[in-house]
Amino acid sequence: MINKVLCIDDDQITLVLCEMVIKKAGFAAEVFTAKNGREGLAWFSAYFSKTNKSEKQDPPQLIFLDLNMPVMNGWDFLEDYLMKYADRLPDTKVVIISSTVNPEDFSRANRYEIVIDFINKPLTTEGLDDLMQHDQLKDFF
């Protein structure tokens, strides 16, 4: 099981469903959420600014990232994250979860090494079962 997962999505219902499905499938022990890219980045910013080890929470091993979000969308989050934090968290991967049908989004996702999968909404237990078989994740299970 994965220890910790971050879900970034502007849709509250989606976040609730994600959490439920993740728990139901036994995919991760802990789920925490962010409403958009900026909130997501804020979490990492806070994480790296804390010097006191005892105050530090564990970083997520996986980020479920939505693309279409207000304030800061998924791509902008990804660019910033890669620039500022990815190097320091080499074990954290990204899975995109989106309702997009724009082929450009699919091809763009392919260009990021950190993005290991692209799931079309909704996230289901079957989808998570497949994800558990993924080369880069199967060691967790």
Partner 1 sequence: MRQSALQILVIEDNPGDYLLVSEYLEESFPTAHIFHGDTLKKGIGFLEKENIDVILLDLTLPDGMGISSFHTINSRFPQVPVIILTGLGDTEVALEILKVGAQDFIVKDDSNPAVLAKSINYGIERSKIHEHLKKSEEQYKFLFNNNPLPICAYEIDGDRILMVNEAAIEHYGYSEREFLSMTIHDLRPRREPTIDFSPTVRKSRNLILDIQHQKKNEEIIDIEMRTHEILIEGKRACLAVIHDVTETNRAKEQLRESEQMFRTISENFPNGAVAILDKDFTILYTAGKEFHIKNVEASYFENTDYTSHFHSPIKEKVRDHLIKVFNGENAVFETSYEDLSYMISAVPLYETSGSINKILIASQNITAQKRNEMEKEMLIEELTQNNSDLRQFSYITSHNLRAPLSNLLGIIKLLDTSLITDPMNLLLLQNFEECTLQLNETVNDLLNVLIIKNNVNAKKEELDIRKVFERVLHSVQTAIEKKQTTVITDFDEAYEVLFNKTYLESILLNLVTNAVKYSSPDRPLEIKVRTKKTADEVILYFSDNGLGIDLHRYKDRIFGLYQRFHDHADSKGLGLYIVNSQIRVMGGEINVESEVDKGTTFIITFKN
Residues lying near partner 1 in the complex (CB under 8 A) are found at: 11, 13-14, 17, 20-21, 24, 68, 98-103, 120-125
Closest distance to partner 1 from the beta carbon of 79 (Å): 20
- Comparing CB distances to partner 1, the nearer of 37 and 59 is 37
Closest distance to partner 1 from the beta carbon of 102 (Å): 4
- Comparing CB distances to partner 1, the nearer of 16 and 29 is 16
- The whole-angstrom separation of Cα 80 and Cα 77 is 5
- Comparing CB distances to partner 1, the nearer of 27 and 43 is 27
- The whole-angstrom separation of Cα 102 and Cα 108 is 10
Residue 82 tokens read as 């890669």
Dihedral of the alpha carbons of 59, 50, 46, 123, in degrees to the nearest 10: 10
Residue positions counted in the chain: 141
